[in-house]
Amino acid sequence: MNRARMKLPVILVSVVGSALVLLSWSQTWFDLELTDAAAHGAGETIAVPGSIASPALAALALAGFALVAALAIAGPGIRLMLGILEVVLGGCILLAASMSLGNPVGAVSPAVTEATGVSGSVPTAELVAAADATAWPGAALVGGALVVLAGVAVLVTGMRWPASARRYRGARLADADDAADAAGADRAASDRAIDDWDDLSRGDDPTEQADETAGAGGDDPAPGEGTSSPNR
């Protein structure tokens, strides 16, 4: 695909990646079972959502959406900076999801505290009988990978993307010129009104002055009239 046509696909990939991360954050990441059956009924599992297992993903996903909006209107130089930020953002998403998957007991610790009232990493770890991961942490990893790939694509192709709203730039300038002309006309009319008011304050009638000016202009002889010919 031509690099100049990569803008829309890259933006779509960024949106899909960020949306997948945000969706996975709202779903169940771990099915938790406690060793203390009296604290939480025997055989009953606790669903631990991504908002508890990896709370930072929501902010990272929203930052991805904001970055996509900036990419849609940014110039070539700014696109490179945004591409670097997108790669870093995707790396942070991958890191946050990987840390939860790598330490599920630590990820579910807030849920254990909420269910039993026991706090502290060691006491809560002793109460965890099992913490089975669902497919949603993997979805978050896929979303983070998509964000990284989109950032790399911005770095590779962003300089050749078409400029945004170039065809509207001339129309905006024309509208600004028309507004300036209208404002100038309004100011001129306001100045004339002030001058007329000053004439009235001095006892002069501005309408008579206008008639005299018009009459003086009408008394001027036309070319070839009102002069005698030297041959007469």
- For residue 63, give the nearest of 93, 28, 94, 29 by alpha carbon: 93
DSSP state of 222: P
- For residue 136, give the nearest of 46, 31, 43, 206 by alpha carbon: 31
Task: Calculate the CA 228 to chain-centre distance.
Answer: 81
- The pLDDT tens digits of the residues spanning 153-190 come to 999 988 888 876 544 444 455 555 566 565 555 555 55
Both 43 and 76 in a single domain?
Answer: yes
Task: Count the Cβ atoms, other than its own, within 10 Å of residue 199.
Answer: 15
Secondary structure element (H or E) that encloses residue 56, with its range: helix 56-73
Mark residue 117 as left, alpha or beta (left: phi above 0; alpha: psi -120 to 50; beta: remaining). left
Tell me whether residue 224 is in a domain: no
Q: How much of the chain is helix, strand and coil, in % rounded to 5?
A: 70, 5, 20
Both 125 and 202 in a single domain?
Answer: no
Q: How far apart are CA 191 and CA 193, in angstroms?
A: 5
Determine contact, residues 68/15, Cβ cutoff 8 Å.
yes
Q: Is the pLDDT of residue 230 over 50?
A: no
Q: How far apart are CA 232 and CA 223, in angstroms?
A: 18
pLDDT at residue number 112: 87
Both 144 and 198 in a single domain?
Answer: no
pTM > 0.85: no
- The pLDDT tens digits of the residues spanning 73-106 come to 988 889 999 999 999 999 999 999 999 999 999 8
Both 174 and 159 in a single domain?
Answer: no
Cα–Cα distances in Å, from 102 out to 92, 107, 108, 138, 142? 15, 9, 12, 12, 16
Both 87 and 187 in a single domain?
Answer: no
Both 119 and 15 in a single domain?
Answer: yes
Domain range for 85: 3-164
Tokens 């993903």 locate to 57
- For residue 136, give the nearest of 53, 56, 64 by alpha carbon: 53
Mean pLDDT of the chain: 79
Both 42 and 143 in a single domain?
Answer: yes
Tell me whether residue 195 is in a domain: yes
Determine contact, residues 14/63, Cβ cutoff 8 Å.
no
Both 131 and 42 in a single domain?
Answer: yes
